Structure 1
């Protein structure tokens, strides 16, 4: 495992401390390039960067009870991890998984995605299950579904 984080950059907390702080369900996305994935999350989804370096990032969206947090790990940090056999060049990552970001305006996310040249799989639409949602693929092929409740 080869780290790209500059030697003089200190993580926002130690890995063991961060690991112990995690609760409930966690999402960790294996990505080709952390900075590129962070740029998508910020520009399209309106996520806030908690911490980021070339190897790892923590992102958040929303506040209070409606706050989501997820991690990004660069492929090169996984060494001999078994997931690497599924994520080779050209692999479709996350097939069949929807990463739903509740409270993220789907119309605004689509507009930002289109402006940045990202693939919008389905524009924002009202759905019978009470949500307005859109489907947007990020640069690694993960499908994000920003949604808000219908009024």
Structure 2
């Protein structure tokens, strides 16, 4: 949980509302997200979906519209995170990059060109 909390704060620029070893609430781009540690899912219906998964977050993109991809790319690289694809203008009218965060989740900050 601490790694994801630090990533959200230090790379994405999220505001940490509350955090402990089990749970965090963060505010990012006007939305509030709640993050839960794995052990909080012991009796959760999602346990059956995630059990046996070799890589957490495989195939998941968390798209963050309105986030500055250039700024986030620089922060991620400076803190040693994987920049899967650097910031680039895309034909669909967005500038975006791909950053691998803790546990394999891919964050795609994007802004209108």
State whether residues 75 and 84 of structure 1, in contact with CA within 8 Å, keep that contact through their aligned partners in structure 2.
Answer: no
Match of 1:23 in 2: none
> 3-state SS of the aligned residue for 1:51?
strand
Match of 2:8 in 1: 41
> 3-state SS of the aligned residue for 1:140?
helix
Could you tell me how far apart the structure 2 residues matched to 1:77 and 1:96 are? Answer: 22
Task: Compute the displacement of 1:43 (Å).
Answer: 0.8
Task: Compute the displacement of 1:83 (Å).
Answer: 3.2
> What are structure 2's unaligned runs of at least 5 residues?
none
TM-score under structure 1 length normalisation = 0.68
Q: CA RMSD in A?
A: 1.6
Match of 1:100 in 2: 63
TM-score under structure 2 length normalisation = 0.89
Could you tell me how far apart the structure 2 residues matched to 1:69 and 1:101 are? Answer: 13
Structure having the larger proportion of residues in strand: 2
Note if 1:128 corresponds to 2:95.
no
> 3-state SS of the aligned residue for 2:46?
helix
The aligned length equals 112
Task: Compute the displacement of 1:84 (Å).
Answer: 3.7
